[in-house]
Amino acid sequence: MTHRRETFPGAERLARELSAVAEAESTSRRARREALRANLVARATAPPSPRRALPIALGLGALAAAALLALWVGRSERPLAASIDGEAIAEGTFVQAAAGERVARFSDGTRLTLAEGGAMRLDRFTAEGARVVLERGRVEASVVHREATRWTVEAGPYVVRVTGTRFAVWWSPVDEALEVALHEGAVEVTGPDIEGARRVSAGQRLELVVSRPAEAASLPLPASAGSDETLETAELGEPGATDEAPPEPRAARARPASREPRAAEARAEPDWRVLVESRRYREAVALVRERGLEPICASEPAQSLLRLADAARYARDASVGTTVLACVRARFPSSAASAEAAFFLGRIALEARDGRSAARWMEISLREREGGPFAEQAAGLLIEARELAGDSAGARSAADAYLDQYPHGIHVEVAERVARGAPD
């Protein structure tokens, strides 16, 4: 017999080999995937079987024809109508999402969801679309494609042109940073630093920061100007050169008189943001550790810090994750990012099986952003955290609250068990 600490002899070896079998099976199927995908798409999108479908199709066809006729007859150059919470809104309406998201619905079926903390103006309604001016924050747009569709989302100096797609635009006037993420279809973005128009397609995300040549040129250029770290930031145009940045890093952001050699130098150096975007989380966190967390915590915008915290969690580096999240809470109090940080601090505590701490953070997250994007998860994990902390009564109360608010939520099974007082 071996003396390995296993549940049975060779358990680890068996697991390793079975895992290799799973990997090999999956690899061997790569060549066939195209055919299998085509088969799946055909099956998934196939109409119902003809025998059953015919009468339904005839009925639906008649209905559709009537609806189309009605639409055609009623169609005019009349501009779109819009409503929020069932109330009609006029052109030029300023919408703020102070507490919870706001959803604007248009008569062509288009939907704009303004995330909490955001503000937008719904301007110039036409028969083909509308002009949306995103003052700040994030808007998720689901634009219905028609024969003639013209929607624009303006964010600072940038314009996003849309003909029918699903996408999100995030704009920070403080950082002068834009992010456009495409879920479906494609859009075109125009504005500073973009030659002509930049097409962004499904699955892509465009990040932009307004460059500030005047500001950069006015900064002194000491002999030691620009550490590698700050040069990378400047070259990448990350939202670091902002009003929030402390004086030292700002001074260090000076661009060299001749940019070419510096650019080459900067490209040669790794950047933790690029590593994070490339999902190389361990390397990103190792780099941050090597260069020190303090300057990053002091200068990076909240979203950037949250991404770094995510990377730390994925890299299973709870220490960096906790520090970065604490920075977010200290630097951006009362913000959505701060509440998000509380939620993830709770997740880290839960992973460390620290029920009390996890429960406290989940409570804070829920209190600070009721109905926010992590509210359901926080409410569900609060049950688990309190249970873990041995607080049965608290867990039951959290379970009752969860079931009231999210009767179809993902934590329903756990909530029902705890609410019933059933043992795990």
Partner 1 sequence: MPREAPTTSPALRLVTERDELPSIEALVARDPDAVARLYDLQVERVERLVVAVMGPDRELDDIVQRVFLEVLSSLPSFRGSEEGMLVAFIDRITVNVARSWIRSRRRRAWLRFAAPAEIPDVPTSVGDPRARAALAVALRVLESLPADERIAFGLRRVEGRRLEEIASMVDASLATVKRRIERAEARFVAEARRHPLLWSWLEDHDPST
Binding residues for partner 1 restricted to 298-327, rule: CB under 8 A: none
* 3-class DSSP string for 21-83: HHHHHHHHCHHHHHHHHHHHHHHHHCCCCHHHHHHHHHHHHHHHHHHHHHHHHHCCCCCCCEE
Q: Does 198 bind partner 1 (CB under 8 A)?
A: yes
Q: Which stretch binds partner 1 (CB under 8 A): 202-210, 314-322, 339-347, 394-402?
A: 202-210
Which member of 120, 155, 208, 308 binds partner 1 (CB under 8 A)?
Answer: 208
Q: How far is the CB of 280 from partner 1 (least distance, A)?
A: 8
Q: Which is nearer to partner 1, 13 or 367 (CB)?
A: 13
Q: Does 392 bind partner 1 (CB under 8 A)?
A: no
Q: How far is the CB of 274 from partner 1 (least distance, A)?
A: 8
- How many Å separate Cα 1 from the centre of its chain? 52
**Is-contact 133 141, C-beta < 8 A?**
no
- One character per residue 101-140, x = contact with partner 1 (rule: CB under 8 A): ----------------------------------------
- One character per residue 217-256, x = contact with partner 1 (rule: CB under 8 A): -----------------xxxx-------------------
Q: Which stretch binds partner 1 (CB under 8 A): 4-12, 81-89, 144-152, 305-313?
A: 4-12
Q: Which is nearer to partner 1, 11 or 81 (CB)?
A: 11
Which member of 186, 274, 318, 401 binds partner 1 (CB under 8 A)?
Answer: 274
Neighbours of 44 (CB within 10 A): 7
In the chain the first and final C-alpha atoms are separated, in Å, by 35
Residue 240's Cβ-side half-sphere holds a number of Cα atoms within 13 Å equal to 27
- One character per residue 149-188, x = contact with partner 1 (rule: CB under 8 A): -----------------x--------------x-xx----
- Kindly give the pairing relationship between strand 131-142 and strand 151-155: parallel
Exposure class string for 341-362: b at 16+ Cβ within 10 A, else e: bbbbbbbbbbeeebbebbbbbb
- How many Å separate Cα 378 from the centre of its chain? 17
- One character per residue 57-76, x = contact with partner 1 (rule: CB under 8 A): --------------------
In one-letter notation, the amino acid at residue 200 is: V
Instruction: For residues 424 and 415, give the distance between their C-alpha atoms in angstroms, rounded to a whole number.
Output: 11
